[in-house]
Amino acid sequence: MSKIACRRHAVATAVTLLLAVPASAQNDPATLLAEFIHYTKIAKPELAAAFCQQLLQSSITDAQLAEVLSENRTLALRFEEAIGAAHNLADLEAIAGELERRITEGQLALARDPERIEKAITMLIGTQRMKLHGQRQLDAAGEYGVPRLTLVITEGKDERMRTAVGEVLVNIGRQSVAPLCAALPHLDNRNQRFVCTLLGRIQLPQAAPYLLELADTDVVAAATRESAMRAFRNVGGVKRNLSELYTDLGQQYFNEAESLVAYPFEQTNNIWSYDPLY
């Protein structure tokens, strides 16, 4: 049998097998994804591609695709293994790459969904398992979770929640800095001290001019100025002219310093301001 004939035979087999799957299963994303994984891992690229195509051509959204994996840890781990194998199979690489791209887009959409962020925050004072799940979701949300987390700090009455949220903001790290700095001048003294402490723990120098400006103002309490100066030193700040610090930071933004870009591989990034009425 010729190579072309073999390929045609394999495709025909894939179609036959797909049609043999019950109609309900053909419309079930988890089943189609599991079949794609199975045939990829046993190096049957034509069969894997057929199930992958069926999945991609369905009405499922990117977020729904990602949710299939988020709800099944075992399936998610097997998918990662299958994608790695698919990149080494010429007949499967392109379509598997499209599936991977859509799932990645869906994961971003899920992570940044305001309702999921809100739910993840409530988990922070639940059971240990809930805490870990909430922390993972908020870590994935990154910069997009910071506004709601900051609101918990400024308006929350539960000190356990404030402490838990503070830990999450420190864990998010670099992506917390710009939105926290935008909020800092507009907060009351108590919350300014709390945010200064967080910025000092994150220890990134882009916070330095904001902290120095707060430390040098005479319209806040002495304890707040002391907290700001302590954080300024913790982020590596050296006492300089404030305008020079802001000029240097602006130049870094102009030069597109990667350390200042929250999502270097995305076409757009956020510019932050603070609205106390939000």
Confidence grade of residue 196 (pLDDT, cut at 50, 70, 90): very high
For residue 155, the model assigns a pLDDT of 87
pLDDT at 26: 57
Q: What is the pLDDT averaged over residues 15-30?
A: 58
Which pLDDT does position 4 carry in this prediction?
41
pLDDT confidence bin for 9, thresholds 50/70/90: very low
Tokens of 21: 């799957």
- As a whole number, mean pLDDT of residues 4-13 equals 44
pLDDT at 92: 93
The 3-class secondary structure across 91-133, one letter per residue, is: CCHHHHHHHHHHHHHHHHHHHCCHHHHHHHHHHHHCCHHHHHH
> Residue 160's pLDDT is what?
93
Q: Please report the pLDDT score of residue 225 as a whole number.
A: 97
Please check the confidence at residue 10 and state whether its pLDDT lies above 90: no
**pLDDT at residue 20 tops 90:** no
Identity at 1, one-letter amino acid code: M
pLDDT tens, 104-117?
Answer: 999 888 889 999 99
Range scoring the smallest mean pLDDT among 74-88, 210-224, 253-267: 253-267
Where is average pLDDT lowest: 17-21, 185-189, 260-264, 274-278? 17-21
This prediction has a pTM of 0.75
| Nearest residue to 32 (alpha-carbon basis) of 63, 92, 75 | 75
pLDDT(235) > 50: yes
Q: What is the pLDDT of residue 71?
A: 82
Euclidean distance between the first and the last CA atom of the chain, given in angstroms as a whole number: 69
- Position 278 confidence tier, pLDDT thresholds 50, 70, 90: low
DSSP string, 203-226: T-GGGHHHHHHHHH-SSS-HHHHH
Q: For the chain, how many residues are written?
A: 278
Q: Which residue has the higher pLDDT, 3 or 45?
A: 45
Q: Which pLDDT score, from 0 to 100, does residue 7 have?
A: 47
pLDDT on residue 267: 83
- Per-residue confidence band for 277, with pLDDT thresholds at 50, 70 and 90: low
**pLDDT tens figures, 115-174:** 999 999 999 998 999 999 899 999 999 999 999 999 999 887 889 999 999 999 999 999
Please give the mean pLDDT across all residues of the chain.
88
Within 8 A by CB and 6+ apart from 210, the residues are 181, 184, 185, 199
227-255: average pLDDT: 93
% of the chain at pLDDT higher than 70 = 90
